């Protein structure tokens, strides 16, 4: 087996944790039953790598077989690494009728025109997502399988999720995506996160939405038996209002796991007690970052417990509303349309 293929297998073995190895290999299905049985999964990773290497050599596997294994693992465990979202704009007339075979052929041919040596693998996942694995090379070197880019796209939606894409590769990928999905422009959607399922659910609103209603709790009588009748909350109504407004802004139930929200402020300094800073003409640049294991959950709790004032300020509620977590805030009217937002005070 070639050196590069060996290194690729070693990298895959580093990626996959031991407890997931058996199921992933079974899903891959390229080992015969005897070969699968001959592997002792309780040995150390290093010993397992050697065993797999010998079986792969026995079967004369090439790079393309191994990349299939890597892709199966990543498709089932997408919540690693950093995913960024791009948005396709200005669809042409036939953008809504792009279907899978056409997209696959077009994408492969366009990308191969742009980059001489590139290795592309496209698979459709069970939830209709198209997964693309790209190993980039250039005019003089073969594709580098140790740093592949993964792209996830749901056909006929404007979002494209990418991970591991360098700035040099971005314009090439963008061009290929535009031509194969029949759109005219692509831009940064200002949304990123570690959890692919979370950012996808956020964009497609696949979490429980709470709609504004005049009578928030229509069946109040049903809840009486749950809590002890001897315990009474004095301020139950304001608390219920706060909870309803928080859920309206962020959603009810379990929320998609965003890790951070970044606000880049380019506003003038405002503090009446500090004359020297307020007199400056230039904006006071600073960056505010909110970080949490589940940011939307934390923000909703801030609003419902009264730490953040309700109704929820648009600066916070636009995170789920617009599906972004990077904002640039300026004092004056809207600047470039994709990026600015009016501050509240």
Partner 1 sequence: MSLLKPFSRLPGLNSANILLVEREEQFQQSLADVLVEETTFTVNVRLAKSLPLPMENEESRPRIDLVVFIINLTSELSLQSAEASLKSLDPGYFLGKVCFMVTNARSAAAPIERLDVARKLAASLYCPLLFAEDQTPDGVTNATERLLTILKVAAGLVPMATSLYLSNLTRSTVPPDIEQPSFN
Taking the alpha carbons at both ends of the chain, their separation in whole angstroms is: 65
- Contact pick of 230, 282, 333, 345 for partner 1 (by CB under 8 A): 230
Give least dist CB 320 to partner 1, A.
25
* x/- track of binding to partner 1 for residues 68-97 (CB under 8 A): ------------------------------
Long-range contacts of 321-325 (CB under 8 A, 24+ apart): 323/189, 323/191, 323/202, 323/203, 324/189, 324/190, 324/191, 325/190, 325/191, 325/192, 325/193, 325/258, 325/260, 325/261, 325/262, 325/295
Give least dist CB 306 to partner 1, A.
7
Residue 217 within binding range of partner 1, rule CB under 8 A: no
Nearest of 215, 217, 303 to residue 255 by alpha carbon = 303
- Identify which range of 63-71, 208-216, 228-236, 260-268 contacts partner 1 by CB under 8 A: 228-236
Residue 15 within binding range of partner 1, rule CB under 8 A: no
* x/- track of binding to partner 1 for residues 265-304 (CB under 8 A): ----------------------------------------
Residue 221 within binding range of partner 1, rule CB under 8 A: no
Q: Which residue, 127 or 221, is less far from partner 1 as judged by CB?
A: 221
Could you say which residues in the range 142-161 bind partner 1, by CB under 8 A?
none
- Contact pick of 232, 271, 281, 282 for partner 1 (by CB under 8 A): 232
Give the span between the Cα atoms of 302 and 59, in whole angstroms.
Answer: 58
**Could you give the C-alpha distances from 141 to 5, 107, 110, in angstroms and in order?**
15, 21, 19
Residue 309 within binding range of partner 1, rule CB under 8 A: no
Give the span between the Cα atoms of 338 and 315, in whole angstroms.
Answer: 15
Nearest of 319, 24, 311 to residue 192 by alpha carbon = 319
Give least dist CB 259 to partner 1, A.
24
Q: Which residue, 44 or 228, is less far from partner 1 as judged by CB?
A: 228
Give the span between the Cα atoms of 278 and 192, in whole angstroms.
Answer: 34
Q: Which residue, 33 or 231, is less far from partner 1 as judged by CB?
A: 231
Residue 344 within binding range of partner 1, rule CB under 8 A: no
- Identify which range of 47-55, 135-143, 178-186, 235-243 contacts partner 1 by CB under 8 A: 235-243
CB 193 within 8 Å of CB 199: yes
Give the span between the Cα atoms of 88 and 98, in whole angstroms.
Answer: 14
- Contact pick of 2, 101, 231, 287 for partner 1 (by CB under 8 A): 231
Buried b (16+ CB within 10 A) or exposed e, 282-321: eeeeeeeebeeebbbbbbbebbbeeebebebeebbbbbbe
- Contact pick of 127, 237, 271, 281 for partner 1 (by CB under 8 A): 237
Q: How far is CA 157 from the centre of its chain?
A: 15
Q: Which residues sit at the interface with partner 1, rule CB under 8 A?
A: 228, 230-235, 237-239, 305-306
């Amino acid at each position: 087996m070639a050196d590069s293929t060996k290194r690729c297998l070693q990298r895959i073995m580093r990626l996959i944790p031991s407890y997931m190895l058996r199921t992933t290999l079974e899903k891959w299905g390229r080992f015969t039953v005897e070969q699968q049985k001959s592997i002792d999964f309780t040995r150390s990773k290093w010993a397992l790598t050697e065993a797999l290497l010998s079986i792969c050599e026995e079967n004369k596997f090439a790079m393309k077989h191994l990349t299939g294994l890597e892709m199966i693992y990543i498709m089932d465990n997408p919540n690693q690494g950093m995913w960024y979202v791009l948005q396709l704009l200005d669809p042409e007339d036939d953008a809504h009728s792009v279907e899978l075979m056409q997209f696959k052929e077009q994408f492969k041919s366009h990308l191969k025109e742009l980059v001489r040596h590139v290795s592309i693998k496209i698979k459709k996942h069970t939830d209709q997502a198209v997964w693309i694995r790209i190993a980039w090379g250039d005019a003089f070197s073969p594709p580098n399988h140790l740093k592949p880019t993964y792209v996830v796209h749901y056909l006929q939606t404007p979002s494209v999720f990418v991970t591991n894409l360098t700035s040099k590769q971005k314009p090439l990928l963008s061009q290929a995506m535009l031509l194969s999905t029949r759109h005219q422009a692509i831009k940064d959607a200002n949304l990123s996160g570690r959890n692919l399922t979370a950012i996808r659910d956020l964009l497609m609103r696949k979490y429980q939405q709470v709609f504004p209603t005049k009578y928030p709790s229509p069946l109040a009588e049903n809840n009486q038996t749950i809590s002890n009748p001897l315990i009474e909350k004095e301020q139950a109504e304001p608390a219920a209002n706060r909870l309803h407004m928080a859920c309206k802004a962020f959603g009810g139930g379990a929320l998609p796991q965003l890790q951070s929200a970044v606000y880049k402020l380019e506003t003038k300094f405002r503090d009446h007690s500090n004359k020297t800073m307020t007199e400056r003409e230039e904006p006071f640049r600073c960056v505010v970052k909110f970080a949490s294991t589940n940011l939307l959950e934390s923000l909703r709790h801030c609003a419902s417990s009264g730490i953040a004032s309700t109704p929820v300020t648009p600066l916070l509620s636009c995170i789920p509303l617009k599906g972004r977590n990077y904002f640039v805030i300026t004092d004056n009217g809207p600047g470039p349309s994709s990026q600015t937002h009016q501050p509240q005070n």
